[in-house]
Every structure is written in structure tokens, then in C-alpha cells.
Structure 1
């Protein structure tokens, strides 16, 4: 069985690594995108739900990995609450 190594949340990491931790380690349908103007956007995309949240930070390494992950988790929770999702795609009617 492959061993899972816990990410070091107390250091800055490149964008690709941030997305790997958000998607693979935390299993969130969230991607961090850095635009040409230098700012970032979190994108929540499940195919059925698409939401964006801009973060006015020009450099990925300006924040620690843990800070980016906290942004992603908070954003995912807000989107799920807004759409009535309680767990694993279950919705509140």
C-alpha cells in the first residue's frame, strides 16, 4: 500500500503543487488559477456547479501552502452551503 506523506503547510509552494494538494490530498473539486495580470482565482467545478472566487494576491509564493488550502476549503464549504450540498453530492431540497 502506498504511503501518504503529509504536505508541509508551513512553506510556500508552486501553483501546481498547491493544486495537487487541494485536489489529491483534500479531494476538493477546486483549482487555483493564476491569470496573466498576476492575480489568482479559485474555481469550483463539478460539472453541475461552477463558481469562481478571486483572490487579489499577485504571487503564488506570497502565501504558505496552508493558507491557500484554507482559502480552498472555505470556498468549497461556501459553495456547497449555497447549493445545499451536505456531503458527497447529497443535496438538501
Structure 2
């Protein structure tokens, strides 16, 4: 699993690629918690377009992270390929 963090305006984009196993989630959760709680980013996008494998146990954890963002007055969104392509084309 590889991931990166970028910004487009007021949006933070967390891009993950490769395989996400259940053991990878604590690292992802820590990054999301830091972005949402500590840094108070209110608009976070989780880009999973390049993920080739995601354990089904990770899905409820993504929902949990979205709820965490909502509790802080923000949102966590999932990016689809079309959305990501628009960001790349816009140069943001």
C-alpha cells in the first residue's frame, strides 16, 4: 500500500494505491484522524481509484471515518475515477 496527501483549494485528497489489508487500516485511520481532528480539515477526499484490493472488513472503517468527519462539521468523500480525472485536468 502506498498513499499520498495533496490539496486542491480547501480540499485535502488522500490517494491510496495498491492493496489495502485489514492491517493497513490503523495507519490510514491515524492519517485521517490527524487531518480531520488535529488539523481541522473539513473537506477530505479518499481517492481509492488505484486500489487493486480492499478487504471487506475495511469498508465499515471507512464509514466510521466519514462519521468522524461529520461529527467535526466536515465530510469525507470517496473519489471515483471521473472525479479524479477532473481534478487532474484542472491542474489543482
Give TM-score scaled by structure 1 length: 0.31
Q: Which has the higher helix share?
A: 2
Which entry has the higher C-alpha Rg, 1 or 2?
A: 1
Greater RCO structure (CA 8 Å; 6+ sep): 2
Flag the structure with higher strand content: 2
Using structure 2 for the length normalisation, give the TM-score.
0.31
